[in-house]
Structure 1
Amino acid sequence: MSSCHRCGAATPTGRFCAECGAPVAASPAAGPGSASPRDASAGRTARVLPWVVGALFVVLLAAGGALLVLREGPEEPAAVDVPRGGAGRDPDRAPTSAPSPSASPGEETAPTPTGDPVEVAAAASITVPATAPSSVDVADGSTTSYDDTRLVDGDPTTCWRTSGDAGGSEIVLDLAEPVALSRVGLVNGYAKTATDPRGTTYDWYSLNRRVLAVEWVLDDGTTLRQDLGESRELQTLDAGGAVTSSVRLRIVAVSAPGDGLDAKDYTALSEVSLLGAPVAAG
C-alpha cells in the first residue's frame, strides 16, 4: 500500500485515491537506471575514499619524518682543531692575550747610556799601519817621533804618520768598555808649523799628505763616511749613539804631498776624537 501523493492518505492499490480522488501513480519498477540503497552507499564510499587515503598518506609521511629525525639524533658539534701535544681550547674560557716581547723571560734589553758623552779615544788600545821613523825638529834640533800615542794625546802639533799614500789602510781603536758613540772626529794632517833658527817657517800641514776621506766602522757593521776639508781644526761627524766597543778608522782618500824641496811623502793624522757614554747592559 502506498500514500497519496496529494493528500498523503493511505490508499489501496487502486487507480484513484479514496480520500481526494487523485490518481494513484504506480510504484516505479526498479530498472536498469535506478540505484538501490546499496549502490548509493557504495557511491558515497567511492567519493569519500580518495580523501581518506590522501589524509592517511599525509599522516604516514609526517610520522615517517618524525621517525627519521628521532633516528638521526641531534646534530653533532663542529670539530675543534687540537694542536699537537695540547688540549683543545675551552669555548667557555675567556681568551688570554699573548705576553709582550718585552716580558719574555731571559730577554735582554738594549744597553742604555749611564752618563754624558766623554772623550774615550785616549783610553783605547790602538793598532796602526807601519809608522814612519822619527825625525829632527828644525826649530830646536830635538827628536820628534810619530808613534800611535800621538793620535790621542790632545795635542794637534804632534802626529802619527806613515810613509807614502795610506789610502785603504786602517787604524783600529779598541775601547776600554762599550760606549754609546755620539761623535767622531779627526785632525786630518800634521797641524804644526815650525821656524828654524834662520827664520824659515815650515807648514807641515801642507807639506805632508792630508787625509781627504775616511770611514768609521763600528761593531755592528755601521759605516759612517766622512769627507774632510783643508782645515787644521778638528773635523767631527755625528755618530748617532750607536753602541760599540771598537772603532775601525779606514783611510779612503789621501792628498798628494806638498810642493818644494821640503815636501814630505808621508800620510799624517794629528788627532782622533771619539765621544761616547758608557752603557749599562739590560
Structure 2
Amino acid sequence: MVQRVPDEYFRARAAESDDVGPQQPPRWMPQSSAVRSVAPGRVREGVAWRPLVVTLVLAVAISFVLGRAFLFPPIPRVQPPQPTTAPSATVTPTALPRSTPEQAASVVRVVTATGACLEDTGEPVVSALVDGDASTIWRCPGDGAGEAIDFGFGRKVQLIGVRLVNGNTAWPDRYLAERQITRIRWTFPDGSFFEQGLAVNGRGPQEVRFPPVRTNGARLEVVSATPPGEEGERVDAVSISLLEFLGPS
C-alpha cells in the first residue's frame, strides 16, 4: 500500500513569498575599519616632515664631529714654563779679625828737616817743628796751600803713624785768630802717599795710624786750611806746634 505525504506540507506559508527564499544569517563584519583616518595637516605632498628634520640634525652633528676630529684636530695646550728656582748662593760671612789693642808706638828720631815757606821770612822755623816742644811752632804766612817740608831719618825705619798738634798753641791769643790746617798729604820716596784730615779747634795732639811703611824719608805738604778767625794780615798764617813720627816700640 502506498502512503502519500499530506498536501499541507507543500503549501506556501503566509510569511513566505514565492520569490524570497528562506532568510540567510548576516555575514560577520569587523568592528572597525582597517583604514585609519589621518588628519589633513599631517601629510604634505606625501612626505612626513618631522623624521626629515631629525635626520638632518643628526647628519649635521655627525659632520661637525668628524670634521673636528680629522680636519681640525684639537691644538694641544702648551703649559707655560714653570719658573725654576735657582739655588740661592750661600754667603759665608767672612770672619772679621778680632780687635786687638792699639800697637804701642815710639817716636822715631828725625835727622834732617828742610823746607822754607813760600813767602820766605828768613826765620829758621823747620827745626822748631821736630824739637818735641809744643811751645815752639812751624808757621808760614798765607793760606798754606802748597807749603811742604822734607824729613830724613838717616836710615831705613819703619813708620806706623804720625802725631801732631794743629794750629798756633805757642801764642794762646792766636790759636782761634789764625788759620788751622784741615788736610795734609804724606808722600814717601817709593811714591806711595796718603792724605790725613785734621780736626780744628782742638788744641790736643791728633794721631793717625797707617799700615807699616819702611822708608828713610817722608814729605809733608799742606793741602787746605780754614779762613782766619779774625781780620788782619798778622793772623793770615798756618801753624803746626808739634810733629812726631811713630814707629813700633
- What TM-score do you get using the length of structure 1 for normalisation? 0.46
Partner of 1:127: 114
TM-aligned CA distance change 1:149 to 1:233, over 3 Å: same
TM-aligned CA distance change 1:269 to 1:132, over 3 Å: farther
Counterpart AA for 1:163: P
CA drift of 1:156 comes to 1.6
Partner of 1:235: 206
Partner of 1:259: 230
**Is 1:149 matched up with 2:127?**
yes
Partner SS state of residue 206, structure 1: coil
Partner SS state of residue 259, structure 1: coil
Partner of 1:184: 162
TM-aligned CA distance change 1:274 to 1:205, over 3 Å: same
**Is 1:212 matched up with 2:200?**
no
Aligned residues of 1:207 and 1:262 also touching (Cα < 8 A):
no
Moved over 2 A (4+): 129-134, 260-263
TM-aligned CA distance change 1:212 to 1:265, over 3 Å: same
CA drift of 1:176 comes to 2.1
Percent identity of the aligned residues?
Answer: 28
**Is 1:276 matched up with 2:247?**
yes
CA drift of 1:192 comes to 3.0
CA distance in 1 between counterparts of 2:236 and 2:171 reads 17
TM-aligned CA distance change 1:117 to 1:178, over 3 Å: farther
CA drift of 1:260 comes to 4.6
CA distance in 2 between counterparts of 1:132 and 1:205 reads 22
**Is 1:249 matched up with 2:249?**
no
Would you say how many aligned residue pairs link Structure 1 and Structure 2? 144
**Is 1:160 matched up with 2:138?**
yes
TM-aligned CA distance change 1:252 to 1:262, over 3 Å: closer
Residues 15-60 of structure 1, C-alpha deviations (whole Å, 9 max, x = no match): xxxxxxxxxxxxxxxxxxxxxxxxxxxxxxxxxxxxxxxxxxxxxx
Counterpart AA for 2:106: V
Residues 74-121 of structure 1, C-alpha deviations (whole Å, 9 max, x = no match): xxxxxxxxxxxxxxxxxxxxxxxxxxxxxxxxxxxxxxxxxx853124
CA drift of 1:214 comes to 0.7
CA drift of 1:243 comes to 0.3
Partner SS state of residue 149, structure 1: helix
CA drift of 1:212 comes to 0.6
CA drift of 1:185 comes to 2.4
What runs of 5+ residues in structure 2 fail to find an aligned partner? Answer: 1-103
CA distance in 2 between counterparts of 1:192 and 1:207 reads 13
CA drift of 1:151 comes to 0.5
Counterpart AA for 1:172: D
Q: Tell me how large the CA RMSD over aligned residues is.
A: 2.4
Aligned residues of 1:132 and 1:161 also touching (Cα < 8 A):
no
CA distance in 2 between counterparts of 1:209 and 1:188 reads 10
- What TM-score do you get using the length of structure 2 for normalisation? 0.52
Map 1:78-89 onto structure 2 (within 5 A). none
Partner SS state of residue 235, structure 2: coil
Aligned residues of 1:146 and 1:159 also touching (Cα < 8 A):
no
CA drift of 1:219 comes to 2.1
Counterpart AA for 1:249: L
Residues 136-176 of structure 1, C-alpha deviations (whole Å, 9 max, x = no match): xxxxxxxxx66111111222222111111221221110112
